[in-house]
Amino acid sequence: MALVGRDPWSGQHLHVEHADGRVKAIHRESTDGESDDGVPWIGPGLVDLQVNGFGGFDLNGDELGVETVVGLWEVLRRVGVTTFVPTLISGSVERVQWAVGVVADARRRYAEVGAAIPFVHLEGPHISDQDGPRGCHDARFVRPPDLREFERCQRDGLIGLITMSPHWPGSAEFIAAVRATGTRVAIGHTHADTAQIRAAVDAGARLSTHLGNGAHAQLPRHPNYLWAQLADDRLAAGFIADGHHLPPETFVAMVRAKGLERSFLVSDSVAVGGRPPGCYESAVGGDVELTEDGRLLVRGAPYLAGAAAPLKDGVAWTAKMFSLPEALTMATTNPGRIVGGTTGQLRPGTPMSSVVTFRWRDGRLDFS
């Protein structure tokens, strides 16, 4: 069997032969200027390393269950995401341990869900306790890094990424120990100084979580923790490209400073994402309001309460400032490299569940 589509990177027609659920061979042919109106684009599915929820499915809510994880997988698939990392924000040890267990149970019970979820991302609780960098995380649950706590929550072996602030005493030792287990460490929601960030990277931190957000409203001109992360080529940086978390000029400057190959897009979507404008109660942010233009705010305040747009919208927004191939690279190849294997790539061996076709019309991505 073969699936036919256009390659967004080269414009060539691809004939993707597949059998037994995997890509077997890919044949390329030039279009020679022929009309492509009826031929969809084809490529690897989007890879989202930061998903708190979407479409009413909440990974951080009290009603979390296996059906929540399965429902989230289904709605994300419809917007082009074939690989996603469930993200759990700061909570009690018991809550985090329980939530990781629920995701692990969903992966065991449903093979397709297991294939779509490579690991879990703990965003906190070892983050900044200061207003601004802490973001919408509940201050009651912010606490110093504790290796015994990590080991307790890691009983299913599913925690693959931790976001933390390296300002805490003992952070470098904690990072080195966590990295030794194979879990990735990202710097985020931080007020750490340059020396502390450098020590964290020396210890094994290799990512920056939604760089430019989870920060103070005002910073010293220099030095500050944004410059320190932008300048270190050992760090790859995630960006929320929804037009609300970062202004276009800031986003472009940060990607150019970090380099395309070290930049990746995340949605950081919450359960309210994909729902109509209005007021909602959310596990992330509490009493929130989703405006007509897609901005998600703490109700009655100017503060963002997470993101509402799916990753495909981030790709479309990014393509306005870069190109569609570059935007797709930041949402497939680059985050896929962090996950490993064939994730974010279209090549022999890639599961067909990770291959998508889509239309690109009027600055929008529509997945079939």
Q: What is the pLDDT of residues 54-94, one digit of tens each?
A: 999 999 999 999 999 999 999 999 999 999 999 999 999 99
Residue 28 lies in a domain: no
Contact in structure between 152 and 96 (CB atoms under 8 Å): no
Per-residue model confidence as pLDDT tens digits over 103-138:
999 999 999 999 999 999 999 999 999 999 999 899
pLDDT number for residue 33: 55
Q: What is the pTM of this model?
A: 0.96
The amino acid sitting at 247 is: P
Residue 248 lies in a domain: yes
Per-residue model confidence as pLDDT tens digits over 14-59:
999 999 999 999 999 987 655 566 899 999 999 999 999 999 999 9
The four Cα atoms 100, 119, 266, 137 give a dihedral, to 10 degrees, of 30
Q: What is the pLDDT averaged over residues 300-317? A: 91
Contact in structure between 53 and 307 (CB atoms under 8 Å): no
- Bridge partners of 22, per DSSP, are 19, 351
- Count of the separate structural domains present in the chain: 1
Residue 311 lies in a domain: yes
**Region for 262 from its dihedrals, namely left if φ exceeds 0, alpha if ψ lies in -120 to 50, beta otherwise:** alpha
Task: Print the domain residue range for 53.
Answer: 45-344
pLDDT number for residue 179: 98
Contact in structure between 175 and 187 (CB atoms under 8 Å): no
Residue 87 lies in a domain: yes
Question: Which carries the bigger pLDDT value, residue 368 or residue 5?
Answer: 5
- Cα–Cα distance, 125 to 96 (Å, whole number): 10
Per-residue model confidence as pLDDT tens digits over 145-182:
999 999 999 988 999 999 999 999 999 999 999 999 99
Q: Which of 31-35, 221-225, 228-232 has the lowest mean pLDDT?
A: 31-35
Query: What integer best gives the mean pLDDT of the chain?
Result: 95
- CATH number for the domain spanning 310: value is 3.20.20.140
Residue 365 lies in a domain: no
Residue 89 lies in a domain: yes
Q: What is the pLDDT averaged over residues 263-281? A: 94
